[in-house]
Structure 1
Amino acid sequence: MNCVICKTGQLKPGYTTVVLQRNEATIVLKNVPADVCDNCGEYYLSEQIANKTFETADAAVRQGAEVEVVRFAA
């Protein structure tokens, strides 16, 4: 499948870093499984992985994190 951003790259399974803002908090999730464009680096998350990243970020905020760096656990 071609990347919808750059239109020329191919999506390949890999890992990425996702940064999410929740209120005043910044949550960084590392090693998130994704389809990654081999040209521009744009990433695409499956619905299941996206939901897990949102849950992880929300949990960090509930625990009072302002800046949190988390290694993603599937």
Structure 2
Amino acid sequence: MKILLDEEKCVGAGQCVLAAGDVFDQRDSDGIAVLLDEHPGQERSGAVETAAQLCPAQAIRIEKG
């Protein structure tokens, strides 16, 4: 699984951090999400999928395979 985060789309809602705080964080300066782990393990797939679904800006994409 590969995670793609479009920082340009991000609105800083923080839902990704709440759902998968070990994969996403937010910049202190503006709240924009940052990706901590581009290739999280399969055990994190549920949390990452939840984060993508909760993102109001649809800034998170998941590539499987």
TM-score normalised according to structure 2 size: 0.29
Does 1 or 2 have the higher relative contact order (CA < 8 Å, sep 6+)?
A: 2
TM-score, reference length from structure 1:
0.27
- More helix per residue: 1 or 2? 2
Choose between structure 1 and 2: higher strand proportion.
1
Greater Rg by CA: 1
